[in-house]
Structure 1
Amino acid sequence: MNIIERDPSDPRRKPMNPGLKFLLELGPGLVFFFTTIRGEWLAEKFPVLSHLGEPILIATAFFMVATALSLSASWLLTRSLPLMPLVSAIVVFVFGALALYLQDKTFAFMKPTIINSLFGVTLLGGLLFGRSLLGYVFDSAFQLDAEGWRKLTFRWGLFFLFLAVLNEVVWRNFSEATWLYFKVWGTIPITLAFTFSQMPLIMRHSLEDKPGKEEKAGK
């Protein structure tokens, strides 16, 4: 049994509903946001949480739990773990544990930088070895030919690096509250806008719209 999700071209790969997959990946981030906002209230209602530290550290603990639950749900539904959320979870657990142990919220601020940098470098590095790894993320949503995956992977690799730089600029130059709101209500719209901007490329290289293209790609 494969623990990590199979290659997108593997017929044994069990697909997941794109909407559900998006919800499982977005959920932990929303938990972090709302727990940070209500951190002081939670500490008052449940005094044991005050031992974790200030609200952002309480939210970090909740984020780690939500991430673990998200991966567990993916495992129950597909009997495999999605690659990029798994990598993200490892970073979350390592940096979250450091933040809680050292009582240093800097680790929480830098987590998006580390994750986005890792994703960007991984996607661009995969292209150097002839692998379009973005297929692991989006294959449930659409099917592209090899050239389409290469171009889309390159663009997303650069976009992840852009998000990493943007996170550094925001947390180092603005207030904690500004960073928190930007992390959810800024990053998500920017990501959605970038995703929609790639639709012309996706349509040009879609195998679903051009079935004959799939046969050419296999030759």
Structure 2
Amino acid sequence: MSEQTSDASTGEARKISPLVKNLLEFGPVVLFFIAYLKLKDQVFEIGGTSYEGFIIVTAGFVPLMVLSTLILWKLTGKLSRMQVMTLVVIVVFGGLSVWFNDERFFKMKPTMIYLLFGGLLGIGLLRGQSYLRVVMEEMMPLQDEGWMILTRRLCAFFFGLAVANEVIWRVMSTETWVYFKTFGLTAAMFLFFMTQAKLFQTYGIEEEGEAE
């Protein structure tokens, strides 16, 4: 099986293997986790400054994430707004952590991402619109009311994740936060959409091919 996306510049459809897509999206995160476990207790002297393993791993993660995103864009001809905004936050906060040799900036990154996403969805809701629909309509067609309900729920969920990240990185160890970032946030997102099955059944729109 392969996924099909449209090239924004040529209008041509490009196919990409789901395996390749997942490797590009989640590979850098997995490598960050593995590298952290190997280097977490080490200290590196670079230019007369001491850097803990976490900072070194962050310094490697940022360009790796940029590279994987560029490859994904090259293969599909398309990046979602969420992917672009996520990459910008990663570069900014990852760069600040490395520049100031302070891991707190990178730990705040998920908070900023979820506040950004939740805030954008909230602005749309205040205007009576579902910005989520613009991003995900092709993946799961829903009735208008279904999109508004899902958007409200996801908006609240994003704010909840932002609070959870702030609590965990501030009161728990760096290792605990790395586990939470790598597995906890991904699992939480998966479980959220799993719990929306009833909404998808109630407000889902059958495609013409399925209805025939």
Gaps of 5+ in 1: 7-11, 212-219
Whichever residue aligns with residue 82 of structure 1, its letter is S
Q: CA deviation at 1:188?
A: 1.8
Q: CA deviation at 1:40?
A: 5.6
Whole-Å separation in 2 of the counterparts to 1:172 and 1:93: 22
Secondary structure, counterpart of 2:114 in structure 1: helix
1:69 is aligned, of 64, 67, 70, to 67
- CA offset digits 1:38-57 (Å, max 9, x no partner): 2269989xx97x97822211
Q: Report the aligned-residue RMSD.
A: 3.2
Compared CA separation, residues 128 and 40, structure 1 to 2 (3 A):
closer
The aligned residue for residue 132 of structure 1 is: 130
What TM-score, normalized to structure 2? 0.80
The aligned residue for residue 141 of structure 2 is: 143
Q: Is the 8 A contact 1:24 1:70 kept in 2?
A: yes
Whole-Å separation in 2 of the counterparts to 1:167 and 1:128: 26
Compared CA separation, residues 131 and 24, structure 1 to 2 (3 A):
farther
The aligned residue for residue 78 of structure 1 is: 76
Q: CA deviation at 1:22?
A: 5.0
Gaps of 5+ in 2: 1-6
Compared CA separation, residues 129 and 182, structure 1 to 2 (3 A):
same
Compared CA separation, residues 132 and 52, structure 1 to 2 (3 A):
farther
The aligned residue for residue 216 of structure 1 is: none
Q: Percent identity, please.
A: 36
The aligned residue for residue 99 of structure 1 is: 97
The aligned residue for residue 29 of structure 2 is: 29
Q: CA deviation at 1:14?
A: 5.2
Compared CA separation, residues 43 and 31, structure 1 to 2 (3 A):
farther
Q: Is the 8 A contact 1:15 1:140 kept in 2?
A: no
- CA offset digits 1:69-121 (Å, max 9, x no partner): 23212311332321101101111111111111100101011111111111111
Kindly indicate whether structure 1 or structure 2 has the higher relative contact order, using CA contacts under 8 Å at least 6 residues apart.
Answer: 1
Q: Is the 8 A contact 1:96 1:108 kept in 2?
A: yes
Q: Is the 8 A contact 2:41 2:52 kept in 1?
A: no
Secondary structure, counterpart of 1:207 in structure 2: coil
The aligned residue for residue 172 of structure 1 is: 170
The aligned residue for residue 156 of structure 1 is: 154
Question: Which shows bigger deviation, 121-130 or 159-168?
Answer: 121-130
Compared CA separation, residues 127 and 74, structure 1 to 2 (3 A):
farther
Q: Is the 8 A contact 1:134 1:153 kept in 2?
A: yes
What TM-score, normalized to structure 1? 0.77
Q: Is the 8 A contact 2:97 2:105 kept in 1?
A: yes
